[in-house]
Structure 1
Amino acid sequence: MTPETSPSKWFHYVVRREQPTVRLFCLSGAGAGPSEFISWGKSLPAWIETWPIQLPGRERRMREQSMTSLEGITGAVLEAVHGVQAELPGARTAFFGHSFGALVLYETCSRMTTLDPQAVLGIAVSGLSAPHCVSNNPMGDLSDSELTERIMSFGGTPKELMRNPQFTAWLLADIRNCYQIYEKYRTSATQSPLDCPVSAFVGRDDFEASIGDASAWNDHTTADFRLHVLDGGHFYLRPQLLRVLSLLTADLESWSSR
């Protein structure tokens, strides 16, 4: 492990548990950071320990350069997760990713299970179409004004924040970077199915992932698959948080009993 992949740098808002049996590594979507998961650590049962992932270029690492390749992000996250596993053995590893975060953790999970089919308890992907589905909302090459208009049409970002030039510049750069990575990946994805269970969470009115495209994640696992459809759009997580945590807890419980 290097200083660049030290757990203290890559994980924030971790609520330590006395004897966790599952460590849940979480990653948010474009334009968001680990603070999205602040409440998860205390809201989930004591046997689940939540580890929100802090990417460069976001929140506490705002001054750092964002990473521009999926391979680079995945490799760094993988090494950071391995660092936690080495320092704190005993608990099983699970993942929850939303949107772009789901893509990163899916790739991380794939690399881990390729080396060891038992390395990951399971993964929950949220607000993301299955890798083989075609995107209907290309955004990576939009101009600043077009991208701003698209972001505001989605909701989820307060208008007062968009009046702050510094915040707007950061948000546009982060979202554009994530979409450019995502759209490039989608045209060349040939991933083998995972050997661990997959649960797909999706908002009923999500503009990014239809229910059909979310259910297509079933093609990407040789193990159990569950589809959870919740009221709301791409940002369903916040208003539906208690329901999400209840479903996720049930999934983790089921996976643990395999």
Structure 2
Amino acid sequence: MSKIKLLCLPYAGGSARVFLDWKNDLHADIELIPVELPGRGKRFGEALISDFHQLVEDIYQNIKNEISGPYCFFGHSMGSLIVFEVMRKLKAEKQPMPMCCILSGKNPPHVPLRNHIHALDDEEFLAKIFGYGGTPAEMLHNQELASIFLPIIRSDFQAIELYEPPADREQMDCPFVVFYGTEDPYVSTDLVKEWSLYTTSSCEFYAYSGGHFFIQEKREQVVEQVNSVLDGIRATL
């Protein structure tokens, strides 16, 4: 039996490498495919994309050859929103849908962001970014690192802050699994449950103690649950 492909989309400012340390802990029948966004990692030489729907089109074009055979998505924060919109694109193009979709650290599409920060000056913007956690402290003190990092994360925040959700709350014929941190100030423990409005299938929820980057704080538990979810999918094949 073929492996299940796990296509992983990172958070704002992140690259595909944030998932690389999952590889040794995922079960042998799971093929990890970290998806790189333009302007970072192995795509560093490419132009950043600050329009959300153009970004989705870019990711769709880059992953459409990976979706033969059984596959699942995992996205964290901005990655969850990208996954959702890529699924809408797959549905519109009558492409094979994933066996499941794991959405992590993000309110559902119709819940507006409380603050828009992408247009702040560098100092204010960095201060807000550090409020999310997950960003190395040396960014504050290393001008060279900041000069690389700031345009990437500012572009990502512009994309998600100007994102317009679908008016019809289009539903996917795909099981959803939703991860969230109980101390995440950017995700509502009540509103996150409304991801269930976007699927005609099941929608399961798993809470982790931790903030916005609970996938780092509770890495072992998160990867263990990903294994469990995909084991359940394999049992249905």
Alignment counterpart, residue 30 of structure 2, candidates 48, 64, 77:
48
CA shift at 1:244, angstroms? Answer: 0.7
TM-score (ref. length: structure 2): 0.91
Q: Could you report, residue by residue, the CA deviation over 1:148-169 in whole angstroms, capped at 9, with x for unpaired residues?
A: 1112233322222331112213
Give the aligned partner of residue 21 of structure 1.
Answer: 3
What's the counterpart of residue 212 of structure 1? 190
Question: By how many angstroms is 1:213 displaced?
Answer: 2.4
Partner of 1:98: 76
Q: Aligned equivalents of 1:254 and 1:116: distance in 2? A: 25
1:122 maps onto 2:104 in alignment? no
SS of the residue corresponding to residue 42 of structure 1 reads: coil
Contact 1:98 1:127 in 2 (8 A): yes
2:152 counterpart of 1:160: no
Question: Is this contact kept in 2: 1:70–1:181, CA < 8 A?
Answer: yes
Structure 2 counterpart of 1:62: 44
Structure 2 unaligned runs (5+)?
Answer: none
Confirm or deny that 1:227 pairs with 2:187. Answer: no
Report SS of the residue matched to 2:135: coil
Return the letter of the residue paired with 2:163.
Y
In the alignment, the residues of structure 2 paired with residue 51 and residue 33 of structure 1 have an alpha-carbon distance, to the nearest angstrom, of 12
1:192 aligns with 2:208: no
CA distance in 1, matches of 2:117, 2:182: 21
Give the conservation status (yes or no) of the 8 Å contact 1:204–1:233.
Answer: yes
1:7 corresponds to? none
Aligned to 1:6: none
Task: Give, in angstroms, the shift of residue 240 of structure 1.
Answer: 0.8
Q: How many residues align?
A: 236
SS at match of 1:110: helix
Query: Matched residue of 1:120: which SS?
Result: coil
1:150 to 122, 128, 137: 128
Q: Distance in 1 between matches of 2:141 and 2:41?
A: 19
The percent of aligned pairs where both chains have the same amino acid is 27
Q: Note the C-alpha offset of 1:188.
A: 5.9
| 8 Å contact from structure 1 (residues 113, 195) kept in 2 | no
2:120 is aligned with 1:138: no
